[in-house]
Chains A and B, each alone.
Chain A
Amino acid sequence: MATDSELIPPIGATPPPPGPPPRGPAWLHQNIFTAAIGAVAGYAFGHWVGNMIASGYPNINGASGQNDIAICLGLGIGVFGWLLGAGALNYPLAKIVGREPAPEAPESNWTRYLRFSTDHKVVGIQYFFAVFVFLFTAGLLAMAIRTELLSPTTHIFGPGTYIEIVGEHGTMMMMMASSLVVGPLGNFLVPLMIGSRRTAFPRIEASSFWLFSGGYLVIVTALPLGGFPTGWTGYAPLQTQAAGGMDSYLVGFAVIGTGMVLAGFNLIATIIHYRAPGLSWSRLPVFVWSILATSALLTLATPTLICAGLFGILDRTAQTAFYVTERGGSSFLWENLFWFFGHPEVYIMALPGFGIVSEILPVFTRRPLFAYRVAAAGMFGVALLSFFVWQHHLFQSGINPDMRPLFMLTTELISIPTGFIYLVTLGTLYKAKIHFDVPMLFALGMLFNFLIGGVTGVFLSDVPVDVTVHGSFFVMAHFHYTIMGGLVFAFFAAIYYWMPKLTGRTLDMRLGRIHFWCMFVFFNMTFFPLFIVGILGMPRRVFEYAHNLQGLNDFSSISAYLLGASFLIFVANFIWTIIIEPRRAAANPWNSLGLEWQTPTPVPYYNFERIPVILSDPYHYSEPEALPVADLAPRPSAGAATVGVGRGSADETDPRPPMA
Chain B
Amino acid sequence: MSDGATTHQAGSGGTPPAGGPGGEPRHFRRIFTVWISISVVADLLFWFLVGPHIPPGRMTSAAGGAQFDFNVLFVIALPVIIGVWTYMAYALSTWRKSRVPGLPLSGDRARGHFGVQTAWMAITSTVVIGLFVFGTVELIVPAGAGGGEGPNPIWTPTSKTILPIQVIAQQWKFTYRYPTFGGFETSQLILPDNTTIAFHVTSLDVIHDFWAYQLGIKADANPQQDNVAFTTTDQVGSFTVRCDELCGLWHGAMYNYGKVVTKSAFESWATRTRAQLAANTKNLPPFAWTYDPSANGAGGGYYPSNVDHFSKVETYGAQRAKV
Residue interface mask B210-225, A partner, CB < 8 A = 1: 0101001111101111
In the complex, whether A476 has a CB less than 8 A from a CB of chain B is no
The residue on B at minimum CB distance from A539 is B244
Contacts of B65 in A (CB 8 A): 464
Contacts of A338 in B (CB 8 A): none
In the complex, whether B185 has a CB less than 8 A from a CB of chain A is no
Interface size on B, residues (CB 8 A): 111
In the complex, whether A525 has a CB less than 8 A from a CB of chain B is no
Contact call B218/A57, Cβ cutoff below 8 A:
no
In the complex, whether A366 has a CB less than 8 A from a CB of chain B is yes
The verdict on A451 contacting B147 (CB below 8 Å), with A283-B2, A621-B105 known, is: no
A431 to chain B, nearest CB (A): 4
In the complex, whether A217 has a CB less than 8 A from a CB of chain B is no
Contacts of A468 in B (CB 8 A): 55-56, 66, 70, 213, 216, 218
Contact call B54/A432, Cβ cutoff below 8 A:
no
- Which of A368, A409, A544 counts the most B-chain CB atoms under 10 A from its CB? A368
In the complex, whether B131 has a CB less than 8 A from a CB of chain A is yes
The verdict on A433 contacting B95 (CB below 8 Å), with A331-B225, A464-B65 known, is: yes
Contact call A430/B251, Cβ cutoff below 8 A:
no
Q: Which of B175-216 contact A (CB under 8 A)?
A: 201, 205-207, 209, 211, 213, 216
The residue on A at minimum CB distance from B315 is A59
The verdict on A163 contacting B148 (CB below 8 Å), with A397-B220, A458-B73, A464-B66 known, is: no
The residue on A at minimum CB distance from B100 is A435
Partner of B246, one of A230, A430, A624: A230
Question: Bound complex: CA of A178 vs CA of B132, how far in Å?
Answer: 30
In the complex, whether A542 has a CB less than 8 A from a CB of chain B is yes
In the complex, whether A384 has a CB less than 8 A from a CB of chain B is no
In the complex, whether A395 has a CB less than 8 A from a CB of chain B is yes
Question: Bound complex: CA of A5 vs CA of B143, how far in Å?
Answer: 76
Contacts of A364 in B (CB 8 A): 103
Contacts of B308 in A (CB 8 A): 59, 63
Question: Bound complex: CA of A471 vs CA of B247, how far in Å?
Answer: 13
The verdict on A464 contacting B135 (CB below 8 Å), with A235-B246, A372-B2 known, is: yes
Contacts of B100 in A (CB 8 A): 435
Q: Which of B249-300 contact A (CB under 8 A)?
A: 249-253, 255, 300
Question: Bound complex: CA of A543 vs CA of B242, how far in Å?
Answer: 12
In the complex, whether B240 has a CB less than 8 A from a CB of chain A is yes
Contacts of B301 in A (CB 8 A): 326
Question: Bound complex: CA of A448 vs CA of B91, how far in Å?
Answer: 14
Contact call A374/B6, Cβ cutoff below 8 A:
yes
Residue interface mask B297-317, A partner, CB < 8 A = 1: 000110000001111110010
Contact call B150/A399, Cβ cutoff below 8 A:
yes
| Interface residue SS majority, chain B | mixed
Q: Which of A38-84 contact B (CB under 8 A)?
A: 57-60, 62-64
Partner of A63, one of B56, B95, B309: B309
Residue interface mask B152-177, A partner, CB < 8 A = 1: 01110000000000000000000000
Q: Which of A449-497 contact B (CB under 8 A)?
A: 451-452, 455, 458-459, 461-468, 470-472
Partner of A238, one of B17, B240, B246, B309: B246
User: For this complex, into which size category does the number of interface residues on chain A fall?
Assistant: 35 or more
Contact call A412/B132, Cβ cutoff below 8 A:
yes
Stretch with Cβ within 8 A of B (4 or more), from A18-26, A127-135, A418-426: A418-426
The residue on B at minimum CB distance from A620 is B1
Residue interface mask A361-398, B partner, CB < 8 A = 1: 00111111111111000000000000000000011111
28 CB contacts below 8 A, A to B, read A59-B310, A59-B311, A62-B312, A229-B249, A229-B251, A241-B248, A242-B248, A319-B309, A324-B310, A325-B225, A332-B222, A396-B209, A396-B220, A401-B149, A408-B132, A429-B91, A433-B97, A434-B96, A436-B96, A444-B92, A448-B88, A451-B81, A464-B146, A465-B70, A537-B55, A537-B56, A622-B109, A623-B109
For the complex of A and B, 6 pairs with smallest distance between CB atoms: A367-B107, A542-B252, A59-B312, A398-B227, A59-B309, A431-B108
Task: Using CB atoms and an 8 Å cutoff, list the residues of chain B in contact with chain A.
Answer: 1-3, 5-6, 12, 15, 17, 27, 54-56, 62, 65-66, 69-70, 73, 77, 80-81, 84-85, 87-88, 91-92, 95-97, 99-100, 102-113, 116-117, 120-121, 124-125, 128, 131-132, 134-136, 138-140, 142, 144-151, 153-155, 201, 205-207, 209, 211, 213, 216-220, 222-225, 227, 240, 242-253, 255, 300-301, 308-313, 316
Known: A159-B251, A368-B111, A537-B56. 15 other contacts (CB 8 A): A57-B313, A237-B206, A331-B222, A371-B6, A372-B112, A397-B222, A398-B222, A401-B149, A412-B132, A413-B128, A432-B95, A433-B106, A435-B97, A537-B240, A541-B246
